[in-house]
């Protein structure tokens, strides 16, 4: 497995293009603000958001898709990638594989319409034959990249746009998280700051890029946040174990990009995997969790971190190999290894 990353496109609360996102995260820029909505203690909810003025208006939507505010906002966020995508994606039709939040309510009946609107908003000439949506939460973006890799390896496509898009800016969703005491506030330190954004990777067989995904793996945590089963951190451990078996090299990971968002829950699985597979990690490896800058990006977290890793490796800001992983609330786990390969 050796899939070139030809280009990236990103938008987050700390940047409207890939270069700006990468520079902002390197500098530790944060963009958190109070929403007009209040939590159960009648305090403003804090979120990392993209200014409304930076998002394009919706195209006319006539077909039936979930009319939730978060879904419509996701279309606007995805549409904000249009200018950057115009510079990087091939002119011919291209498959689009996108990860979304589980709450997006994607079904077999509305998936094609949803994809059609996403492609139209972003100006993508989409090949509908191999395009798909994966709505499994925070790990979805990396699961989408893995599906794109399968398309390339099988020869069904020569290039694929894959990634994730998500937003927490929905009063019902934030209200549910607040009722579960998951939002970070002065009264609740063990919570997270919600965010929003989108990230895409252009994977292409024809690319001369030195940046490659050299391994990918997925797993499942039975003891996830909403499960009554004991939480042992087994899901991420098994995912990493499979990842290293697929990599088939004796190198050590130098940089880890994690979807940890500030909730203490996520520390345990990272510790279990790190201890049990310590021989695969450099003794002084770095662990990056950029949610500190732009909040929890949900399904966009993995692709955005993959873009950060690719930029860091290309510019020599980080050492490789880099491991990127994302963990969903409902158990899905997914990880990639990205390397800079000399010609």
Backbone angles phi, psi at 17, to 5 degrees: -140, 165
Burial of residue 330 (CB within 10 Å: 0-12, 13-18, 19+) is: middle
Residues in the chain: 343
C-alpha to C-alpha distance for 181 and 326, rounded to whole angstroms = 22
Report residue 109 as tokens. Answer: 């009946």
Burial of residue 268 (CB within 10 Å: 0-12, 13-18, 19+) is: middle
**91: DSSP letter:** S
Question: Read out DSSP for 238-274?
Answer: HHHHHHHHHH-----EEEEEE---S-THHHHHHHHHH
Residue 294 · residue 26 · CB < 8 Å: no
pTM for the model: 0.96
**Around Cβ 175, how many Cβ atoms within 10 Å?**
16
Report residue 327 as tokens. Answer: 């963990």
Q: What angle do CA 252, 270, 188 make, to 5 degrees?
A: 145
Question: Where along the chain do the CATH 3.40.47.10 domains lie?
Answer: 3-204, 211-340
Q: Which helix (H) or strand (E) holds 307?
A: helix 301-315
Q: Which helix (H) or strand (E) holds 141?
A: helix 140-154
Specify the residue for token string 């940046």: 211
Residue 340 has what pLDDT?
95
> Residues 160-216: pLDDT tens digits?
999 999 999 999 999 999 999 999 998 899 999 999 999 999 999 888 899 999 999
Choices 3.40.47.10, 3.20.20.80, 3.40.30.10, 3.40.50.740: CATH for 3-204 = 3.40.47.10
Specify the residue for token string 């004991």: 230
* Domain 211-340 class in CATH: alpha beta
CA distances from 266 to 27, 143, 232, 269 (A): 24, 19, 11, 6
Report residue 95 as tokens. Answer: 């498959």
Q: What is the pLDDT along the chain (343 residues), one digit of tens a residue?
A: 799 999 999 999 999 999 999 999 999 999 999 999 999 999 999 999 999 999 999 876 656 565 567 888 999 999 999 999 999 877 789 999 999 998 877 777 788 888 999 999 999 999 999 999 999 999 999 999 999 999 999 999 999 999 999 999 999 999 999 999 999 998 899 999 999 999 999 999 888 899 999 999 999 999 999 999 999 999 999 999 999 999 988 899 999 999 999 999 999 999 999 999 999 999 999 999 999 999 999 999 999 999 999 999 999 999 999 999 999 999 999 999 999 997 6
Range list of β-strands (E), the chain: 3-11, 33-38, 44-47, 96-100, 132-135, 159-167, 196-204, 211-220, 253-258, 281-288, 322-327, 332-340
């Amino acid at each position: 497995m050796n899939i070139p990353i030809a280009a990236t496109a990103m938008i987050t609360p700390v940047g409207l293009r890939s270069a700006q996102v990468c520079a902002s995260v390197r500098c530790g820029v944060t963009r958190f603000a109070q929403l007009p909505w209040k939590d159960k203690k009648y305090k403003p909810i804090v979120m990392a958001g993209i200014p409304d003025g930076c998002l394009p208006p919706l195209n006319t939507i006539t077909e039936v898709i979930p009319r939730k505010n978060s879904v419509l906002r996701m279309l606007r966020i995805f549409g904000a990638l249009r200018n950057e995508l115009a510079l990087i994606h091939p002119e011919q039709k291209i498959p689009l594989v996108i990860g979304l939040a589980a709450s997006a309510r994607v079904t077999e009946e509305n998936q094609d319409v949803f994809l059609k609107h996403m492609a139209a908003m972003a100006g993508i000439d989409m090949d509908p034959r191999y395009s798909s949506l994966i709505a499994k939460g925070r790990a979805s973006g990396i699961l989408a990249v893995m599906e794109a890799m399968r398309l390339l390896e099988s020869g069904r496509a020569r290039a694929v746009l894959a990634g994730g898009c998500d937003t927490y800016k929905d009063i019902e969703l934030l209200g549910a998280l607040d009722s579960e005491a998951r939002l970070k506030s002065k009264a609740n330190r063990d919570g997270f700051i919600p965010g929003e954004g989108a990230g895409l990777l252009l994977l292409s067989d024809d690319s001369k890029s030195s940046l490659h995904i050299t391994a990918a793996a997925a797993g499942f945590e039975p003891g996830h946040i909403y499960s009554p089963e004991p939480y042992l951190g087994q899901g991420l451990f098994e995912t990493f174990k499979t990842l290293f078996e697929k990599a088939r090299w004796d190198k050590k990971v130098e940089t880890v990009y994690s979807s940890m968002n500030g909730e203490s829950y996520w520390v345990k699985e990272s510790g279990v995997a790190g201890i049990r597979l310590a021989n695969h990690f450099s003794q002084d490896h770095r662990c990056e969790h950029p949610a500190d800058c732009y909040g929890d990006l949900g399904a966009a977290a993995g692709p955005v971190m993959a873009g950060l890793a690719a930029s860091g490796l290309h510019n020599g800001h980080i050492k490789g190999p880099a491991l990127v992983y994302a963990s969903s609330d409902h158990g899905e786990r997914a990880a990639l290894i990205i390397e800079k390969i000399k010609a």
